[in-house]
């Protein structure tokens, strides 16, 4: 997340939010997901494509992918890790009324 915050030129989104929940099969683990919010899907997807060739992103992705598991089915409740939220202040938020000040 630190890398994303310091490189807004690579990542095109207004905000990314991380959520977690306890792993019901292992009390020592948490399950984490994230949601990127953007205002232009084509630009967002192009940024992901361009970013995937960046050496630093490739190295970080390789380490990250070892933790990826198949998502369980059914209803899941997530809790946001607000301290890990990335929001680029210079981009207009998608929902200005919901923006925290």
Q: Do 2 and 18 form a contact (C-beta atoms < 8 A)?
A: no
Looking at the whole model, is its pTM more than 0.85? no
| pLDDT at 88 > cutoff 70 | yes
Q: Give pLDDT, residue 101.
A: 46
User: Rounded to whole angstroms, how far apart are CA atoms 48 and 26?
Assistant: 32
* pLDDT tens-digit map of 33-78: 888 888 777 888 888 788 778 888 888 877 777 777 776 666 565 6
Three-state secondary structure call for residue 94: coil
What is the token pair recorded at 79?
């809790």
Structural domain boundaries enclosing 60 = 2-98
Q: How far from each other are the two terminal CA atoms of the chain, in whole angstroms?
A: 21
Tell me how many domains the chain contains: 1
List residues bridging with 87 in a β-sheet.
15
């Amino acid at each position: 997340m630190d890398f994303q915050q310091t490189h807004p030129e690579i990542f095109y989104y207004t905000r990314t939010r991380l959520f977690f929940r306890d792993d019901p099969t292992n009390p020592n683990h948490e399950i984490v997901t994230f949601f990127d919010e953007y205002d232009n899907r084509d630009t967002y997807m192009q940024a992901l494509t361009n970013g995937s060739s960046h050496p630093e992103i490739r190295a970080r992705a390789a380490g990250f992918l070892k933790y990826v598991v198949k998502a369980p089915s059914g209803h899941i409740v997530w809790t946001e890790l607000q301290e890990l939220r990335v929001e680029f202040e210079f981009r207009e938020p998608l929902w200005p009324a919901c923006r925290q000040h």
